[in-house]
Chains A and B, each alone.
Chain A
Amino acid sequence: KQEVTQIPAALSVPEGENLVLNCSFTDSAIYNLQWFRQDPGKGLTSLLLIQSSQREQTSGRLNASLDKSSGRSTLYIAASQPGDSATYLCAVNGGSQGNLIFGKGTKLSVKP
């Protein structure tokens, strides 16, 4: 059974710092991996999608990498801003129905 783990559960950094969020999964047979952002009381905003054949994806200050064989992904946020404060969720897609399996998230707080 696929399990997704995110470390750390919470992270607080001063504005301007570069940071890395970690995601690991137990079954490397995935089709893709998606990173999301969730603001309090809101739905999920898709940040990056990495297909299983890809090693990384970039969008603005965000860079996500994927090492499928070792079951790991990282989300790198450059020059963090208070507006980046949110919970970041990692999800893998490998089920027969295309459903996502989520980690429990990393709650990020960026202090001004």
Chain B
Amino acid sequence: GAGVSQSPSNKVTEKGKDVELRCDPISGHTALYWYRQSLGQGLEFLIYFQGNSAPDKSGLPSDRFSAERTGGSVSTLTIQRTQQEDSAVYLCASSLGVGGRLYNEQFFGPGTRLTVL
């Protein structure tokens, strides 16, 4: 079946512009995660959704970052007033999350490479 998909695959924007990144999880997966991979850095966790709810937003790097998920499926990560330090690959993952279990195998999308000029 289809895996996790993300769009766009690449995004180049100017400093100060807003961007919206999209993630479409595997059908039936209730848990969805956003991560960021910066050059020279490891993978950094940003936010988690169980269904449409994100219980803890403290992992978001700043208040310019927000995320939402509607219909228990597609999620969008929005970065307002982008800065050069936001340049990174943004990865989305989903897992079954069955019965409230958070610890199922996570499957990743191909990522969105964001470049802020």
Which A positions have Cβ atoms within 8 angstroms of B?
Answer: 31-32, 34, 36, 41-46, 49, 51, 89, 91, 93, 95-105
Does A102 contact B43, Cβ atoms closer than 8 Å? yes
B91 near A44 with CB under 8 A, answer: yes
Residue among B6, B33, B102, B110 having the largest count of chain A Cβ atoms under 10 Å: B102
Of chain B, the residue at the smallest CB distance from A31 is B103
Using a Cβ cutoff of 8 Å, how many contacts connect chains A and B?
63
Query: Is B1 in contact with chain A by the CB < 8 A criterion?
Result: no
User: How many angstroms between the C-alpha atoms of A42 and B113 in the bound complex?
Assistant: 10
Residues B15-55 near A (CB distance < 8 A): 31, 33, 35, 42-43, 45, 48, 55
Q: A43-B91, A43-B109, A43-B111 are in contact. Are A99 and B33 (CB under 8 A)?
A: yes
B contact residues around A99 at 8 Å (CB): 33, 35, 45, 48, 59
Residues from chain A with a CB closer than 8 A to the CB of B83 are: none
Expressed in whole angstroms, the Cα–Cα distance for A51 and B103 within the complex equals 9
Q: Are A98 and B102 in touch, CB under 8 angstroms?
A: yes
B95 contacts partner chain A, Cβ-Cβ < 8 Å? yes
B105 at the interface (CB under 8 A from A): yes
Closest to B111 in A: A43
Extra pairs beyond A32-B105, A46-B106, A91-B43 (12, CB < 8 Å): A32-B103, A42-B111, A43-B108, A44-B93, A93-B103, A93-B106, A96-B56, A98-B33, A100-B45, A101-B45, A102-B43, A105-B42
User: Quick one: CB contact mask for B77-117 with A, threshold 8 Å, 1 for yes?
Assistant: 00000000000000101010100001101111111010000
List the A side residues contacting B56 at CB < 8 Å: 96-97
In contact, A100 and B106 (Cβ under 8 angstroms): yes
Residues of B within 8 A of A102 (CB): 42-43
Q: How far is the CA of A110 from the CA of B42 in the complex (A)?
A: 23
Contact B110 A43 (CB under 8 A): yes
Tell me the minimal C-beta distance from A94 to chain B in angstroms. Answer: 9
- Chain B residues, Cβ within 8 Å of A89: 43
